[in-house]
Amino acid sequence: MVASTQPPQIDTSQTTSQTKILKNFWYGIEHSASVSTKPKSITFMGHDLVLYRGSNGQAIALDGRCVHRGTDLGAGWVEGDCIHCPYHGWKYESNGACSLIPANQPGVVIPRRAKLQSYPVQEKYGLIWLFWGDLPPEECPSIPILPEFDQAGWRSIHGDFNWEGHYSRVIANTIDMAHAPFVHASAFGRKDSPAVQAYKLESGAWSASGFITFETKPAYSLKFILGNDPPDGIFRATFYMPNVSRVDLQFGRFQFVLFLVHLPVSDRQTITKWLHIRNFILTPLVDGFMRRDVVKTFVQDNQAVKIQAGAAPDDLTVEIHAPSDALELAYRKFYNQAVEMGWV
C-alpha cells in the first residue's frame, strides 16, 4: 500500500475515548490541606464526588450526589465518619451506605439500594489520591514516587491552576519540548533557537521521560538567582499514566521540580494541582515569587492549550508528529495500551 500524502483532517468537534477516564489508576484529586470536615465537591470528568475527613482525620471519598434527589453532598455536613445530605438529612456511612432517613417512621426499612459508591483513598506528597477502577488497587500501577517531597534541603509550595482544555492536551503541554520559544518567548523561551536537541526516551512502567540541555535565558525570579552569566539548563520532562507529569529544571546547583497532577474536570477544563519543590533559597519569604513564576508560565501555556482542537486523538495518524514529540507520542501509546486492556 502506498502511504497517503493527503494532509490529515483535524475534526475540531471530535470526541475521543480520552473524554473518558482510564480506570485502574490512582488519581491525585486535591491537596490534603484543602480537605477538612467541611465536605468538598469535586468534579472528576463529569463525575460528582464528595471529599471530607472523618473523625480520625482520614480522608473519605464518595459519590457526590445524594441518591434520594441528587443533591450536592458537598453542601452537606459531616458527623463523625458520616455525611448528611443538606436537603432531607439522609445520613451516609463512610462506606457509602445510607444509615438514616430522618423522615421515616421508626421501623421503616432503608432500601438496600440507598448507597453511594465509595472510593479507596491514599494521602501522599500533600495530595489526596483516589483509586478509580474495578481491579484490586494493589494489582494496579502505584502512585508515582516523589523523593524530593519533605526532604531536607528542599522546599515545597503548592497551588491550583485552572486550564481551559482537556487533560490530554494539558499533560502534553507540560512535557512538550518544542513550545517554549513561541509560547514563552516573552520570558524564558528563545525564539532565536527553536531547534530541539535529539533526546533519548527512557521508558518505565506506565511512564516515560526525556531530557535536553539548553542555553539559559533567565526570566522571572531566575534572573536574580542565576545572575548575568547563567549556566546552561537541563530540562527533564516525565509523565506517569494517566494524569501526572513532572518537570525538572536544573541550572548548575539550582534545581526545581514541578510535580503536576492534572485533574480532569470536563472536555474543556482541567485543574492542575501543582507542587513546586526547590533546592535553593529555602526561606518561605520567596515562596510568593516562585508561586507567581509558576502561574505566569501556566497562563502562557493555557493560551495555547485553549485554542487546540478538543482532546488528543486516539488515532496516532490523525495528527502529524515531529521527532521532538517523542515523549508525548509515548504517552499516547500508553493510553492506547490501557484502552486495549479494557481499562476504560
| Cβ-based nearer residue to ligand FES, 73 or 208 | 73
| Window contacting ligand FES (CB under 6 A); options: 19-27, 64-72, 240-248, 308-316 | 64-72
* Cell 510535580 belongs to residue: 259
Distances (CA, A) of 156 to 35, 73, 145, 150, 223: 18, 32, 15, 7, 20
Sheet holding 98-100, edge to edge: 77-79, 82-84, 91-92, 98-100
- How many chain residues bind Fe ion (CB under 5 A)? 1
User: Which CB sits closer to ligand FES, 101 or 140?
Assistant: 101
Given the DSSP bridges, would you call strands 59-63 and 47-53 parallel, antiparallel or unpaired?
A: antiparallel
Q: Residue 256 has which C-alpha cell?
A: 526545581
How big is the site for ligand FES, counted in residues (CB under 6 A)? 8
Binding pattern to ligand FES, positions 86-125, x when CB under 6 A?
-xx-x-----------------------------------
**Which residue in 68, 190, 236, 268 binds ligand FES (CB under 6 A)?**
68
Q: Quick check: 82 binds ligand FES (CB under 6 A)?
A: no
Give CB contacts under 8 A, 24+ apart, made by 296-302: 296/187, 296/220, 297/184, 297/187, 298/161, 298/163, 298/272, 298/274, 300/183, 300/184, 300/186, 300/187, 301/163, 301/173, 301/174, 301/179, 301/183, 302/161, 302/163, 302/164, 302/165
Residue 66 engages ligand FES in binding (rule: CB under 6 A): yes
- Cell for 201? 526516551
Taking residue 307's Cβ as centre, other Cβ atoms within 10 Å add up to 9
Min dist. Cβ of residue 83 to ligand FES (A): 11
- Cα-flanking dihedrals φ and ψ of residue 269, to 5°? -145, 135
Which residue is associated with the grid cell 486523538? Answer: 313
State which residue has the least CB distance to Fe ion: 301
**301 counts as binding Fe ion under rule CB under 5 A:** yes
Piece in contact with ligand FES (CB under 6 A), picked from 81-89, 180-188, 292-300, 315-323: 81-89
The separation between CA 104 and the C-alpha centre of its own chain, rounded to angstroms, equals 42
Residue 71 binds ligand FES (CB under 6 A): yes
Alpha-carbon distance values, 185 to 153, 161, 232, 301 (Å): 32, 21, 18, 11
Which of 148, 301 has the CB closer to Fe ion? 301
Taking the least distance from each CB to ligand FES, the nearer of 41 and 336 is 41
Report the residue number, 69 or 223, with the smaller CB distance to ligand FES.
Answer: 69
The distance of closest approach from Cβ of residue 105 to ligand FES in the complex, given in angstroms and rounded to an integer, is: 16
- Contacting ligand FES (CB under 6 A), which of 38, 69, 191, 223? 69
Closest to 132 measured CA to CA, from 238, 230, 44: 44
Scanning 185-325, the segments in alpha helix (DSSP H) are 222-226, 287-305
77 interacts with, out of ligand FES, Fe ion, none, CB within 5 to 8 A per kind: none
Among ligand FES, Fe ion, none, what binds residue 301 when CB lies within 5 to 8 Å by partner kind? Fe ion
Stretch that binds ligand FES, among 61-69, 129-137, 194-202, 276-284 (CB under 6 A): 61-69
Site residues (CB under 5 A) for Fe ion, limited to 132-151: none
* Terminal Cα-to-Cα distance of the chain (whole angstroms): 32
Residue ranges that bind Fe ion, judged by CB under 5 A = 301
The binding site for ligand FES (CB under 6 A) comprises 66, 68-69, 71, 85, 87-88, 90
